[in-house]
Amino acid sequence: MLDAVLIGIGNEFRSDDALGILVARELRRRSNGSLRVLEQGGEGTTLLESFQGASTVLLIDAVASCDLPGTPLRLDLSRECVPSSLTCASSHAFGVAEAVELARTLGRLPRTVILYGIVGASFEAGIGLSDAVVRGIQELLQLIEDDLHTLAAGRTLDFQSGFATLGA
């Protein structure tokens, strides 16, 4: 059995920032309880606590980037820092990138940490995802499920160097 935690990060009342929470809920439903799934707002110390005891952490968050809205991404944070050109949508000063780097510095980073996301179009107050983000969700769900099967089989994920966008 895979010793993993999937963490959906976001805020349901900030448009595309709801992505991580909504995708986590769908993956929880699909896994029928076989996967530990958490929902969080992106506050760094809470994320650090969630890493404890897991060898694999899968983070899902909407991101701000110069890429086109709706672009899905997958990044291996076990080996690399969050690129400066990419910002997780959290409104916290100590958020996802900072939590991962602090865990790395303290020697508490799980063996595998993957960030999945979709480039958002809007992070303004409001309910509902933009059309661009909605169009990317099925591809993102499929990638995460494929990665979970690969990891559960004891195989390593295939990453090309650094920031890996899908559909490019």
Q: Render pLDDT for 34-57 as a digit per residue (tens, 0 to 9).
A: 889 999 988 888 888 998 889 999
Residue 161 has pLDDT above 50, yes or no: no
**pTM of the predicted protein model:** 0.89
In a domain, 164, yes or no: no
Give buried/exposed letters for 150-160 (b at 16+ CB in 10 A, else e). ebeeeeeeeee
Phi and psi of 63, rounded to 5°?
-130, 155
In a domain, 142, yes or no: yes
Whole-angstrom distance, CA of residue 101 vs CA of residue 116: 17
In a domain, 56, yes or no: yes
In a domain, 149, yes or no: yes
**Range(s) of the domain holding residue 76:** 4-157
CATH of the domain at 15: 3.40.50.1450
Q: Render pLDDT for 61-114 as a digit per residue (tens, 0 to 9).
A: 998 887 889 988 899 999 888 776 666 655 555 778 888 989 999 999 999 999
Q: Are strands 4-9 and 56-65 parallel, antiparallel or unpaired?
A: parallel
In a domain, 168, yes or no: no
In a domain, 128, yes or no: yes
Please give the tally of structural domains in the chain.
1
Q: At how many degrees (to 10) do helices 96-105 and 44-51 cross? A: 50
In a domain, 27, yes or no: yes
Position 120 scores a pLDDT of 92
What is the share, in percent, of the chain residues with pLDDT greater than 90? 56
In a domain, 54, yes or no: yes
